[in-house]
Structure formats: C-alpha cells, structure tokens
Amino acid sequence: PAPLGPTPKLVIDLERLAQLPKEKAGALARYAATIQSQRGDYNGKVLSIRQEDLRSLAVIYDKSPNELTEELITWGVLDAEARRAVESF
C-alpha cells in the first residue's frame, strides 16, 4: 500500500452487508439504508460514507472507531484501506 496519498474513503460493500446476519449487521444496514434514502442513491453496489458517520456507528456498536473498523474489515464490509481513513481521526 502507498504510504502517502489522499485519505481513502470509507466504502461500504452493500452486497456483502446484505449477506450478514441481522443480529450483527442490522444497525449498520439500517444506517446505510437511511443514507441511501437521503441521497436518493439506491442502485449502488457500494456506498461511500462520511468519516463522521463511522464515529456515530461506533457509538451505536459501543466500540471505538478503530475497533469497529477492524470488525467491519473482518466481516468484509470495508476493505483494509479503510484503516487509513480512521487513522486520521
């Protein structure tokens, strides 16, 4: 991975998200659906979210932003590049 360059975006894999059990991913799925609805953006396979939204999601999941990012990478919902987006918090 490139050491420099712009902060990568937080890009949610919506197809992967839809495959996960509701007990784990339900809150994130509802959050993503709300953003899609606010934007009128329904056709994407992915959804770019605000860094600020990851902070809110961390509160919802009762984790630090770093911990939540690691979990979402493990689930396959974020790619490993997302770590660099959260480092800049």
Say whether 56 sits in a helix, a strand or coil. Answer: helix
Residue 33 interacts with ligand C2E (CB under 6 A)? no
DSSP state of 10: E
> Nearest 5 degrees, angle CA 69-CA 74-CA 77?
70
- Select from 15-23, 50-58, 63-71, 75-83 the region that touches ligand C2E (CB under 6 A): 50-58
Residue 35 touches ligand C2E, criterion: CB under 6 A: yes
Binding residues for ligand C2E, how many (CB under 6 A)? Answer: 15
Contacts with ligand C2E, residue ranges (CB under 6 A): 9, 11, 35, 38-39, 41, 43-44, 46-51, 53
